[in-house]
Structure 1
Amino acid sequence: MANITEKIERQITALEGKIDALSGNYLTNTWKRQREQQERDRKKEMYHSQIQVLQFLKQKSETDTLTLLEQNLTVAAFYEDMRCFSASKKYCKDNPYCKFQYPKPDDVRTKRLQKAGITDTDELAAAVECFDTLLQSAVIPPDPNAIRLRDMLYRAKMYQKGDIQFTPPELAKELVALAGVRKDSRVLEPEAGIGNIADVAKEVTDHVDCIERMTDFCEILKLKKHNVIGNDLLTAETAPIYDAVVMNPPFSEECEHIKRAFDFLRPGGSLVAVCSSSIQWKSTRKYEQFRDWLSEHTHSIDECGAKFEMTGVHTVVLVVDKAA
């Protein structure tokens, strides 16, 4: 069985390589790109299932003899044949106008079936039943919540315009680091969106709360297991209990949102926000009053190197400390 084991290991390595090739950081900000991503996800799920079957067969081969069907399933082309025959058999069962049949003699699949000892429609139907039983034993079904979360995240990207701009993951890491978040820190992400900042903060501390207005985004946050404490920063009851407030406010209302979020900080805490560079130079009354407010607190403003997916607005990172 050493040869079978080596063959299975090579197959698993090849499939893992295919999964890696499909797991790049692809843009999904148009419907066309989302369809392309959905196809990549479908292929990855298919390869993950195949890997689980191969691992199951490898484990069995170490203590028992594989059947002729199982031996042939270690061949990628034959495995794909059986996967397609299984889907075809299910379709024909539900469709009275379709009849499940053995492929024609000149079909390239026929030779592979004969090599596995499958020579007619009845034997093929029996082999498909064995294949389906093997899948049930070997493959762990994907988490429906994880699939829903993935699909909702794709759809959420189509909301991005105007004030809705999701924080790039690399920028979220920078913001959380600037906030000095530690294991025992209490962190708030107001206007959490899909929780990119909260995701990073939760890698450091379990004490992360979110505020989010949009219903779909709230569901995404809950699927991510984030604690949503309200749906509107400007009307939420303030409680100065957080060690860090990390935020990406709507740029059209950034002044009032940042000042409001500051009220959630405990003395000695820090607010970190990505905002437009308008806070430095815009001469409207709102921005002038905001700069006056900033002058009353220890703060810093630095250039933001990260790029937002759907906006060309020049951004900066603001850090405001609350006096102890």
Structure 2
Amino acid sequence: MLVDDDTLRILDSSRFDGAKMFLPGQLDRPAYAKVVKVIEAAGGKWNRKASAHLFDGDAAEAIEPILLTGEVTRTKQEFGQFDTPPELADQLVELADLHPGMKVYEPSAGVGNIVAAVIRKLESGAGIFGCEIDPKRHAECVRRNYSAFGAGGLDLWDFLAIEPNPVFDRLIMNPPFARQADIDHVLHAYGFLKPGGRLVAIMSASVSFRDNKKTIAFREFVGGCNGTIELLPDGAFRSSGTDVKTAVVVLNSPD
């Protein structure tokens, strides 16, 4: 079931308390009917005593995949790390405007698809550093791109626990999306940019429409960085096993 943007905004503005979901105030009848249809398809039921829609488990966890994909599906998806399709990795590299001698950082390296795209672009001029929290993905990234990390490094670490140091010319990243973790990762990553540097990130398309404080503040941050948010076509990540709706965000660090 596809969900329109107005309904997604209402879902995003709802309040969650464990298994309970509270809609944001009085809705007109057509809007309410569409929202309830989505809630029921996701497993929620109206409970008069609780004055809320109740789910068997955590209500926010039931609604979050709908906000990320724009549809209700019975196939459970975990929106952690999805590998960047190679053709999309090449697009990110072009947007980053790389040049030989630049220091490039990939803070959520995964199995190394973005790293490989940087190598294709810069060849022997690549100076790549990275971070990956998952040991198996870390090992695969090193195996595939060992020579690129010979003069750099690939940390096996939680990127958000690393103190920012503004030494990189470019950051190119595809962070996890669950519970708006992509915003946390991108804001943290911005602290690693040199003056005049550029960050290019894949993010959930929900950064373009969600109206919670976190998302609004992020959009203001993008504007302050002379940045852009461009939606990607539907199905951009289908080859990686998800129909999550995505966007490319570009941030520029002032000189």
* TM-score category, normalised to shorter length: 0.5 to 0.7
Q: Give, in whole Å, the separation in 2 of the partners of 1:182 and 1:323.
A: 18
Q: Give, in whole Å, the separation in 2 of the partners of 1:231 and 1:191.
A: 10
Instruction: Please point out which of 201, 211, 217 is paired with 1:283.
Output: 211
Partner of 1:213: 133
**CA positional deviation for 1:237:** 2.2
Q: Give matches, 1:65-144, under 5 Å.
A: none
Q: Give, in whole Å, the separation in 2 of the partners of 1:202 and 1:209.
A: 12
Compared CA separation, residues 230 and 215, structure 1 to 2 (3 A): closer
Number of aligned residue pairs:
165
Which amino acid letter does the alignment assign opposite residue 178 of structure 1? Answer: L
2:181 corresponds to 1:261: no
Does the 8 Å contact 2:138/2:156 carry over to 1? no
Q: Give, in whole Å, the separation in 2 of the partners of 1:190 and 1:223.
A: 17
Give the TM-score taking structure 2 as reference length. Answer: 0.62
Q: Give matches, 1:1-324, under 5 Å.
A: 161-203=78-120, 204=122, 205-224=125-144, 225=146, 226=149, 227-252=153-178, 253-305=181-233, 306-308=236-238, 309-324=240-255
Does the 8 Å contact 1:186/1:244 carry over to 2? yes
SS at match of 1:298: coil
Q: Give, in whole Å, the separation in 1 of the partners of 2:111 and 2:223.
A: 32
Give identity over the alignment, percent. 32
Does the 8 Å contact 1:276/1:314 carry over to 2? yes
Higher helix share: 1
SS at match of 2:203: strand
Does the 8 Å contact 2:135/2:156 carry over to 1? no
Kindly indicate whether structure 1 or structure 2 has the higher relative contact order, using CA contacts under 8 Å at least 6 residues apart.
Answer: 2
Q: Give, in whole Å, the separation in 2 of the partners of 1:250 and 1:289.
A: 19
Q: Give, in whole Å, the separation in 1 of the partners of 2:100 and 2:155.
A: 20
Q: Give, in whole Å, the separation in 1 of the partners of 2:215 and 2:173.
A: 18
**CA positional deviation for 1:277:** 1.1
Does the 8 Å contact 1:230/1:236 carry over to 2? no
Does the 8 Å contact 1:175/1:246 carry over to 2? yes
Q: Give, in whole Å, the separation in 2 of the partners of 1:186 and 1:273.
A: 16
Which amino acid letter does the alignment assign opposite residue 174 of structure 2? Answer: N
Which amino acid letter does the alignment assign opposite residue 244 of structure 1? Answer: R
**CA positional deviation for 1:188:** 0.4
Does the 8 Å contact 2:222/2:228 carry over to 1? no
Structure number with greater Rg is 1
Higher strand share: 2
| Per-residue deviation, residues 68-102 of structure 1 (Å, max 9, x unmatched) | xxxxxxxxxxxxxxxxxxxxxxxxxxxxxxxxxxx
SS at match of 1:187: strand
Does the 8 Å contact 1:161/1:310 carry over to 2? no
**CA positional deviation for 1:267:** 0.6
What are structure 1's unaligned runs of at least 5 residues?
A: 1-159
SS at match of 1:234: helix
Does the 8 Å contact 2:134/2:156 carry over to 1? no
SS at match of 2:249: strand
Which amino acid letter does the alignment assign opposite residue 186 of structure 1? Answer: K
Does the 8 Å contact 1:243/1:269 carry over to 2? yes
**CA positional deviation for 1:292:** 2.3
**CA positional deviation for 1:161:** 4.1
SS at match of 1:208: strand
Calculate the aligned-residue CA RMSD, in Å: 1.5
